[in-house]
């Protein structure tokens, strides 16, 4: 199981949203769209507010869902780290968190999508979170 958790709206006081990842076509596999719609109640919430996650590092993330005319919602997602307003971003921490968010998503989507395949792909593309023992193997 993943240490990533969907959370309610966190305090945004003294924080900024730092864009860290964009996936503009989550609907090319309907399972991914259905996963996000289920976790964040998007059929009811729509574009009204982002979804929020807490990552293993303790950093919170806002998931801003993208809608496009003529496409099922959500069409895409932006992931924003919620970081102190005037502080630099810890890029290594964000990379590890993003990898854990991807693992959480793959676990939630299930079916033909496996964490083992994600990890193999990460090693193939030399994703830093998969190298040097930083990837936790819980599955």
pLDDT tens for 65-115 read 999 999 889 999 999 999 999 999 999 999 999 999 999 999 999 888 888
Instruction: Give domain status of residue 87, yes or no.
Output: yes
**If we measure between CA atoms, which residue out of 16, 5, 23, 17 comes closest to residue 78?**
23
What total of structural domains would you count in the chain?
1
Contact 53, 5 (CB under 8 A): yes
135 within a domain of the structure (yes/no): no
Secondary structure E strands in the chain: 5-7, 15-23, 51-54, 60-66, 76-84
Whether 40 is in a domain gets the answer yes
Instruction: Evaluate whether residue 18 is within a structural domain.
Output: yes
Burial of 24 (0-12, 13-18, 19+ CB in 10 A): exposed
C-beta atoms surrounding 29 within 10 Å: 14
The set of residues, in sequence order, having a beta carbon less than 8 Å from that of 103 and lying 6+ positions away, is 2, 4, 115, 118, 139
Q: Is the separation of the CB atoms in 113 and 90 below 8 Å?
A: no
Query: pLDDT for 9-20, tens place per residue?
Result: 999 999 999 999
Full residue range of the structural domain in which residue 89 is found: 5-130
Enter the pTM of the model.
0.88
Task: Let me know if residue 108 belongs to a domain.
Answer: yes
Q: Tell me if 28 is assigned to some domain.
A: yes
């Amino acid at each position: 199981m993943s240490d990533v958790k969907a959370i309610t709206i966190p305090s945004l006081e003294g924080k900024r949203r730092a864009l860290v990842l964009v996936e503009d076509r989550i609907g090319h596999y309907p399972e991914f769209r259905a996963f996000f719609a289920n976790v964040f109640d998007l059929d009811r919430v729509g574009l009204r507010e982002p979804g929020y996650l807490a990552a293993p590092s303790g950093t919170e993330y806002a998931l801003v869902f993208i809608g496009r005319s003529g496409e099922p919602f959500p069409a895409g997602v932006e992931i924003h780290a919620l970081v102190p307003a005037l502080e630099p971003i810890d890029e290594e921490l964000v990379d590890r968190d993003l990898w854990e968010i991807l693992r959480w998503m793959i676990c939630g989507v299930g079916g033909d999508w496996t964490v083992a395949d994600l990890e193999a792909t990460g090693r193939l593309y030399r994703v830093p979170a998969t190298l040097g023992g930083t990837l936790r193997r819980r599955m």
